[in-house]
Structure 1
Amino acid sequence: MTLTLWLTFLLASVLISVSPGAGAVNTMSNGLRYGVRRSLPAIMGLQLGYGAQILLVGAGLGALVATSTIALTVIKWIGVVYLVWLGIQKWREPPMAATSDDKAPLSHRKQFWNAALVNLTNPKATVFLVALFPQFLVADAPHGPQLLTMGTTLILVDCMVMVGYALLASQLFRFMTTPRRQQQMNRVFGGLFVTAAMALASFKRTA
């Protein structure tokens, strides 16, 4: 992969990660409640799910999933149900004291696996990667190193973008000084999770 081609792919990676989705909502929700440092397990969980999608496509299984209506439908509806569940949990989440030092009621492990499942149950990522990778693969060069370069780029870029989202959201905490404001924000993020679920439910693979 030439430097010019990689820079083009890097730009595409940034645009992909910056585009709001379920992962971004998850990160901003965690950033608002726990701060940047305590959101890192969830960000790493997102990357596990993203990495699994990349490996799936790189191994050639992504194309199989993308062309299987049954597999795509099952994965899609698991993701829809899970996002709705996250939305309900966030909507019902009680306010916390703005001066409290305990901002991490969820264990790091639970944050990690909750976030991982968000990306693991997103079939749009599989379909998108199946469409994206061939555009940057050099046909007469070994595919393994190219896929490794692209996968690493996608994950590193997404990590940085998610940290940015968490940092942005964490700055809102200083304004969440009353239970009423915190409840309103919890319901905003709960609604965003459900909106992401509706977007996923409406996703249809193009022929």
Structure 2
Amino acid sequence: MLFAPTFYILIQMIWRQVISVGDTVVDATCGNGHDTAILAKLALGENNEGVVHGFDLQSSAIEKTSSLLDKELSTNQRKRVYLHHTCHSKLGQVIKEKNFVSVVAFNLGYLPGGEKGITTASNTTVEALMCATSLVKHGGIITLVSYIGHPGGRDEYEAVRDFATRLASDKWICSHWELLNRPLCPRLLVLLKK
């Protein structure tokens, strides 16, 4: 990953500051499962107290994530991770409890190593973000990595940035990072619920 030295390390640092063992966390776009595994290790701990929900529309992503989790987590930890083969826009239909989740993570675009024509889309991502804002508890965050170099990627990024811009400033702190000398690198948005 080109952005690994900066964004990926930064995202993990942010997650570590927000997630406590026993928390509920969500990977809204499982992909190959790397974020799901990290979120699980942070939320479940050694006593397997937390819960992790992972979502992906592609069956191959769910299979890859499941396989990685089987390798990375203990048997008891693995039982606390629920993978949902459905669109991230269905977050609110799966997770009903409001103001309960510590982190909702989005990694937008296409499945790395998968078919590049299958991508997340502005309309479903904004719908997922609307759900995520009601699920996240006070002090919780939504992180979004938005790739702009593929067809539709810039439009999706602009849609999520516009969504974040409209969130009430008395309830949310929204930030945006980009690498200034790499114009096609992904953008990172972090939305903190006060």
Q: Which structure: greater strand fraction?
A: 2
**TM over 0.5, yes or no?**
no
- In which range does the TM-score fall when normalised by the shorter chain? under 0.3
Q: TM-score, normalised by structure 1?
A: 0.25
Larger Rg: 1
- The higher relative CO (CA closer than 8 Å, separation ≥ 6) is in 1
